[in-house]
Structure 1
Amino acid sequence: MAKNIAVIGDSESIKGFAAIGMDIYPCDDNENAPHLFRKIADGDNYAVIFITEEMFGLVEKERKRYEERLIPAVIPIPGVKGNTGIGIKRLSSFVEKAVGSDIIFND
């Protein structure tokens, strides 16, 4: 079975991803975000889930269930409201774990 890419976020931030073949899941109701995330992550269709940084924070409890799994990879992306820095912080943390020091932002 082919593994696809899903994108979750407010409709304005994610609508362009449909044009390049990704499955989009607009969520403009913050209270529905955890349920929508679980539904997508628990399915067997997606290897990667891009989620706007705003939504990423709203589904923290649900995300923790998937952190130790290889699939789906959950990757925060900036939304139209701007970059909160969550994605960069996570990348830096992963690199530091793998290499033993922060080689990305080590000034």
Structure 2
Amino acid sequence: MAYKIAVVGGKDIVTAFQLIGFDVYPSYTAEETRRTIDKLAKENYGIIYLTEELADLIPDTIRRYDGLPTPAITLIPTNRGTEGIGRNRINDNVEKAIGSNILQGGD
């Protein structure tokens, strides 16, 4: 089964991804983003790239999909830079999987 890839975020962000062949879904509010993510999850999307800005609005929805094999929701920064949410999620998942966070460097 071939999974599809989608990008959800502001129109200024998702347009660039459309040029490389990803399905794009402009979204601006928490409710609109939540509905879009739920719809894509039912439509055979294996990966959903979501801007950190929107992910910050729907943490419960993100957590709900964290426990499922698909879709994998991957957070991406916006043109205003990263908020660190995506990196923090990766660190948390590594720590959960192996018992310690091997990705964080010492000070």
Give me the TM-score of the superposition, normalised by structure 1: 0.88
Q: How many residues align?
A: 106
Gaps of 5+ in 1: none
Amino acid at match of 2:9: G
Q: Which moved more, 1:96-105 or 1:86-95?
A: 96-105
**Pairing 1:53-68 to 2, within 5 Å after superposition:** 53-68=52-67
Query: What SS does structure 1 have at the residue aligned with 2:63?
Result: helix
Question: Which stretches of structure 1, 4 residues or more, deviate above 4 A after TM superposition?
Answer: none
Deviations 1:52-95 (A, max 9, x none): 00111112222232121110001110011210000111111111
Alpha-carbon distance in structure 2 between the residues aligned to 1:28 and 1:55: 7
By how many angstroms is 1:44 displaced? 2.9
C-alpha RMSD of matched pairs (Å):
1.5
Gaps of 5+ in 2: none
- Kept after mapping to 1: 8 A contact 2:30/2:58: no
> Identity over aligned residues, as a percent?
38
Alpha-carbon distance in structure 2 between the residues aligned to 1:31 and 1:100: 35
Q: Which residue matches 1:36?
A: 36
By how many angstroms is 1:45 displaced? 2.0
Query: What SS does structure 1 have at the residue aligned with 2:56?
Result: helix
Alpha-carbon distance in structure 2 between the residues aligned to 1:70 and 1:90: 16
Q: Which residue matches 2:8?
A: 8
Q: Which residue matches 1:86?
A: 85
- Kept after mapping to 2: 8 A contact 1:37/1:59: no
